[in-house]
Amino acid sequence: MPRVAAIDCGTNSIRLLVAELTERHDGTFDLRDLHREMRVVRLGQGVDATGRLAPEALERTRAALADYTIAARRKGVEKVRMVATSATRDASNRDEFFTMTREVLGTEAEVITGDEEARLSFTGAVGEQDPDDGPFLVVDVGGGSTELVLGTWDGKRADVLAARSVDIGCVRITERTLKSDPPSADEVTAAHKLATEVLNEAFEVVDVSRANTWIGVAGTVTTLSAVAQELPQYDNERVHLSKLSRADIDRLTDDLLSVDHAARAANPVIHPGRVDVIGGGAVIVRALAEQFAERGGPAELVVSEHDILDGIALSLV
């Protein structure tokens, strides 16, 4: 069966999935993972303040992409799709990024809209879910943006009912509000206020009360799950389809915001590139949980390792 490579370049990290597509008897496709990799390159470093991609951030991204290109070729990949999200949408010098990706990867990177990002995340996240547990609300807390997608899944096809992307993510909220180490009470209050205000834009479009199951994808929520389980090292299998209650989210957020960088860095499941922004990501997740409670949404968070990368790969069918 054909082998494909999906690359997701976000504000904080760049990730690769090499997979084999397997066709079922009903004409739908399964993905068999051959290789997954993530590197924190912080492409969005300073973009919120300067409006430009920093030279050192572009170089970090170039180095990671060069390695990904080699890995894809060694695995015999036939089709590649690379998508770029929030940081490149906002940068005035984004042409430098596209020239670099074209030279390294040999194909164009796509800047996708926030809504397309949301739809790809939804498709990737719901594939293993029981259709009877829907409608599903998939939330992707990224570095520069957060996507909410409401939809259904019948076991073969995802149907998106509503989607909205808003400009708040773990990097943006940290750079704007959480400047002390550890952050002060006033900074935490400001971060929560900012998250709530920006997320309200999404709730105007996405009626969370229609959802039965809340699924969280991407690095913020997977890291929170690993921290909550007190894993000795990050374990994808233990994280995938684990659950976090509202009390878990409150406790994790308070704990992460009450300690300094060194204490967070000492936790073996927090990636070094996520140490300084995981507190900001937790603030966003807590704001989501609070708003869901007020609006009649799901109370429990189901954590998924399958996300936009899987959706990108499936789009290559």
Domain with CATH 3.30.420.150 in the chain: 128-304
- Give the C-alpha separation, 88 to 51, whole Å: 10
In this predicted model, what pLDDT tens digit does every residue of 1-24 receive, in sequence order? 789 999 999 888 899 999 987 776
State the pTM of this model. 0.78
**Do you find a cis peptide bond into 182, omega within 30 degrees of 0?**
yes
In this predicted model, what pLDDT tens digit does every residue of 245-256 receive, in sequence order? 999 999 999 999
pLDDT-derived band at 32, boundaries 50, 70, 90: confident
Mean pLDDT of the 170-199 span: 95
**CATH number of this structure's domain 3-111, picked from the four choices 3.30.420.40, 3.40.50.1970, 3.40.50.20, 3.10.20.30:** 3.30.420.40
- Give the C-alpha separation, 100 to 96, whole Å: 6
Mean pLDDT score across all residues of the chain: 90
Share of the chain above pLDDT 90, in %: 65
pLDDT-derived band at 29, boundaries 50, 70, 90: low
> Domain 128-304 classified CATH 3.30.420.150?
yes
Domain with CATH 3.30.420.40 in the chain: 3-111
- Using the predicted structure, report yes or no on whether residue 28 has a pLDDT greater than 80: no
CB 27 within 8 A of CB 157: no
Alpha helices in the chain (DSSP H): 47-50, 55-74, 86-90, 94-105, 114-126, 170-177, 185-203, 219-228, 236-239, 246-258, 261-265, 278-295, 308-314
pLDDT-derived band at 176, boundaries 50, 70, 90: very high
- Residue 11 has phi, psi (to 5 degrees) of -70, -35
Q: Which amino acid belongs to residue 170?
A: C
How many residues are recorded in the chain?
317
